[in-house]
Chain A
């Protein structure tokens, strides 16, 4: 089906709400269920308390085009999940937040509320349940995992989250401030704060100088490198391959310490500001970044060559936690996890990078998700070197404007290290922020993890989990 009745828009473009075509529900359903395109977002925008506008952001990843289309729904509508499984999370979220019921939804369980939810049970006497969390050993965030096992084999996993829910979307609506966006999800500080800043800049019509834009992108790639290196190390740690766990742990520090030199924070807090960045990269810092990149590249290459040639490592990683391309596409996975399954989604194609082609490790198992990171680290290194060369002009810090375009909507996509980050900001007729909607990549990928561990050994769950490395607070918001 050709997207004729939709509004084509560019990433980070301000669109008038009245320009978004509102179509009949049946037509909307056809567009959403067209598997040539990816449903990047599905959300409700309440107009004057009574009208429920259901918007779908549809991404045409092959041609790098974004479309938006809307329809009006009442308090109940036929579930779209039945035709397009990838929207199941969106519909559950809509039901939970607005009470609008997607009739016929096959798995309408809570997203972030946990009161009185009954987990799936089995009558089979041979199966047993293992409950993990929400309080875990070690310093990780709270989340409940309920395994339905037969002996050591996992038949089904349900992941229940919501313990970290802070109401970030509401807080950002009331008080759009960069510190909040930075701490939205601690390991994606740059990704989220950059998306946030770009959204508000677009709505208030601020121009951001080229230098600031490049610095932002450099920081984003550095964040990707740092976390990916740490993640490969953590995967190695989970399978007790201490060599890589230690070496990569140290290597990650090199990257984040350079980020510290740039912004004063190892995680890039305080770097972004609305209208640009707070810190410049001068010639001296540029040299440091370049030499750091060489050093990191050498170490990662050497360690990963050894790690991915070690038989005991490969025997643990290969064919563990498999997510096939078809399945990954069907449930709408994003980010490196999706690319490792051979689904090419990378929202960097919607941002201006010079000849950028996403990389893919294809296999879909834990090995692929680990190796995908190696590929992306190298790609990020090349991107940073390229962007450092482009760095020119002077850094401008314009006055922050607080008047936003009325009756508008701005959708900003950023490829954070974990995948596609999407912030949707809409304004009402007085120009005040009416809705702030955040979509973290974890929103899609937690379900991918649940599918990945099916028919695997329960003892392989930790390494599967680490290979996805999803966020609890990014999901819970």
Chain B
């Protein structure tokens, strides 16, 4: 039983995490289609698209250098290592490595976008950096506050939040889940931050950065962004359903459906308002920190 829980379960989780991102996207798209009264594509459509892209040739800009070629691979590698950190391996400071692996992935993507010399991609790169820059501090504040509470500086401390008898702990858990959900929307370039379905280059944030990529590179990038959403979804499942396997799958499914519903009912916010929107993330983080301080100093609600 212990072996099952300690070894098989995390490995299974890791395999699922790596294989399910496209299903996650497929479910979002299906929900959106249903809301529109359409039949919608199969939930496995993103897998078929991935397969199609993998079999395609690549067109590479003449102005691009080697950076452009290696960036998608580095980005994906960073994300896969990060996926291990939230499933199989936990150690002191893993969330710091996690955060900087993501940052490294983003850095190479941004540099690759600038490398093409296209004014579009430069625009996209600057947007991506400005709108996601607030994620990192918020993420650190949240996770390190929770870790401080447990004395264990690892993702593993997330597991004890929801299922405690302390009311404040549950509040912390709620704020954490809310903030992580916002991070999914921002990092995954979903409505209301970005519109993944648009063909309008001028409004895109993430998509416009990868306009020059094609074939295998594009497949990697698309898989990477889906995986990134799954990573944060996994962190949410670690908080809500730390021990139940079926529970975590259900939570992930619920998040996908929720994203689909939001995308169906809500218009995208204006680009200038996104910064204000991301500030809610910081607010959530500060709430978590304040509550943690309250507990640590023996306060009660």
Interface residues of A (CB under 8 A from B): 128-132, 137-138, 151-152, 236, 238-243, 246, 250, 310, 312-313, 315-316, 320, 457-463
Provide the residues of chain B in CB contact with A131, threshold 8 Å.
119
Provide the residues of chain A in CB contact with B271, threshold 8 Å.
152, 457, 459-460
Q: How far is it, in angstroms, between the C-alpha of A462 and the C-alpha of B270 when the chains are bound?
A: 12
Q: How far is it, in angstroms, between the C-alpha of A54 and the C-alpha of B202 when the chains are bound?
A: 42
A132/B198 in contact, CB under 8 A: no
Q: How far is it, in angstroms, between the C-alpha of A364 and the C-alpha of B193 when the chains are bound?
A: 26
Q: Is the CB of B201 closer than 8 A to any CB of chain A?
A: yes
Which residue of A has the minimal Cβ distance to B191? Answer: A240
Which residue of A has the minimal Cβ distance to B197? Answer: A240
A242/B202 in contact, CB under 8 A: no
Given A238-B198, A242-B32: A460 in contact with B266 (beta carbons within 8 A): no
A241/B202 in contact, CB under 8 A: no
A137/B197 in contact, CB under 8 A: no
Q: How far is it, in angstroms, between the C-alpha of A241 and the C-alpha of B195 when the chains are bound?
A: 10
Provide the residues of chain A in CB contact with B199, threshold 8 Å.
137-138
Shortest CB distance B244–A (Å):
34
Provide the residues of chain B in CB contact with A250, threshold 8 Å.
37
Q: How far is it, in angstroms, between the C-alpha of A243 and the C-alpha of B199 when the chains are bound?
A: 18
Which residue of B has the minimal Cβ distance to A130? Answer: B119
B202/A316 in contact, CB under 8 A: no
A246/B37 in contact, CB under 8 A: yes
Q: How far is it, in angstroms, between the C-alpha of A421 and the C-alpha of B271 when the chains are bound?
A: 36
Shortest CB distance B293–A (Å):
34
Q: How far is it, in angstroms, between the C-alpha of A152 and the C-alpha of B203 when the chains are bound?
A: 11
- A-B residue pairs, 6 tightest by C-beta: A241-B267, A240-B268, A246-B36, A240-B195, A462-B200, A312-B267
Kindly list 7 other residue pairs between chains A and B, CB separation below 8 angstroms, not including A250-B37, A461-B202: A240-B198, A240-B268, A241-B267, A243-B36, A243-B265, A312-B267, A316-B267
In the complex, 7 of the A-B residue pairs with CB atoms within 8 angstroms, ordered by the A residue number, are A128-B119, A137-B201, A152-B127, A240-B191, A246-B36, A310-B267, A457-B270
Which residues 213-254 of B have a CB within 8 angstroms of A?
Answer: none
Shortest CB distance B125–A (Å):
13
Provide the residues of chain A in CB contact with B270, threshold 8 Å.
315-316, 320, 457, 459-460
Provide the residues of chain A in CB contact with B5, threshold 8 Å.
none
Which residues 135-185 of B have a CB within 8 angstroms of A?
Answer: none
Which residue of B has the minimal Cβ distance to A314? Answer: B267
Q: From A138, A312, A320, A463, give the contact of B269 (CB < 8 A).
A: A312
Q: How far is it, in angstroms, between the C-alpha of A460 and the C-alpha of B200 when the chains are bound?
A: 10
A462/B203 in contact, CB under 8 A: yes
B267/A246 in contact, CB under 8 A: no
Q: How far is it, in angstroms, between the C-alpha of A315 and the C-alpha of B274 when the chains are bound?
A: 12
Q: How far is it, in angstroms, between the C-alpha of A315 and the C-alpha of B266 when the chains are bound?
A: 11
Q: How far is it, in angstroms, between the C-alpha of A236 and the C-alpha of B37 when the chains are bound?
A: 16
Given A130-B123, A246-B36: A313 in contact with B267 (beta carbons within 8 A): yes
Provide the residues of chain B in CB contact with A240, threshold 8 Å.
191-192, 195, 197-198, 263, 266-268
Shortest CB distance B190–A (Å):
10
Provide the residues of chain A in CB contact with B192, threshold 8 Å.
240, 312
Shortest CB distance A24–B (Å):
49
Q: Is the CB of B264 closer than 8 A to any CB of chain A?
A: yes
A243/B264 in contact, CB under 8 A: yes
Provide the residues of chain A in CB contact with B263, threshold 8 Å.
240, 242
Q: Is the CB of B300 closer than 8 A to any CB of chain A?
A: no
Q: How far is it, in angstroms, between the C-alpha of A137 and the C-alpha of B197 when the chains are bound?
A: 12
Q: Is the CB of B272 closer than 8 A to any CB of chain A?
A: yes
Provide the residues of chain A in CB contact with B272, threshold 8 Å.
152, 457
Q: How far is it, in angstroms, between the C-alpha of A316 and the C-alpha of B273 when the chains are bound?
A: 10
A458/B202 in contact, CB under 8 A: yes
Provide the residues of chain A in CB contact with B264, threshold 8 Å.
242-243
Q: How far is it, in angstroms, between the C-alpha of A132 and the C-alpha of B201 when the chains are bound?
A: 9
Q: How far is it, in angstroms, between the C-alpha of A132 and the C-alpha of B32 when the chains are bound?
A: 30
Shortest CB distance B213–A (Å):
14
Shortest CB distance A280–B (Å):
35
Query: Which one of A129, A137, A246, A459 has the highest number of Cβ atoms from chain B below 10 Å of its Cβ?
Result: A459
B36/A242 in contact, CB under 8 A: yes
B266/A312 in contact, CB under 8 A: yes
Provide the residues of chain B in CB contact with A461, threshold 8 Å.
202
Q: How far is it, in angstroms, between the C-alpha of A243 and the C-alpha of B267 when the chains are bound?
A: 9
B267/A132 in contact, CB under 8 A: no
B38/A462 in contact, CB under 8 A: no
Q: How far is it, in angstroms, between the C-alpha of A254 and the C-alpha of B30 when the chains are bound?
A: 25
Provide the residues of chain B in CB contact with A236, threshold 8 Å.
267
A132/B36 in contact, CB under 8 A: no
Q: Is the CB of B35 closer than 8 A to any CB of chain A?
A: yes
Shortest CB distance B196–A (Å):
9
Shortest CB distance A174–B (Å):
39
Query: Which one of B36, B123, B192, B268 has the highest number of Cβ atoms from chain A below 10 Å of its Cβ?
Result: B268
Given A310-B267, A313-B267, A460-B270: A129 in contact with B119 (beta carbons within 8 A): yes
B32/A462 in contact, CB under 8 A: no
Provide the residues of chain B in CB contact with A138, threshold 8 Å.
199
Which residue of B has the minimal Cβ distance to A457? Answer: B271
Query: Which one of B37, B191, B192, B267 has the highest number of Cβ atoms from chain A below 10 Å of its Cβ?
Result: B267
Q: How far is it, in angstroms, between the C-alpha of A457 and the C-alpha of B130 when the chains are bound?
A: 15
Q: How far is it, in angstroms, between the C-alpha of A310 and the C-alpha of B272 when the chains are bound?
A: 19
Q: Is the CB of B120 closer than 8 A to any CB of chain A?
A: yes
Provide the residues of chain B in CB contact with A238, threshold 8 Å.
198, 200, 203
Provide the residues of chain A in CB contact with B120, threshold 8 Å.
130
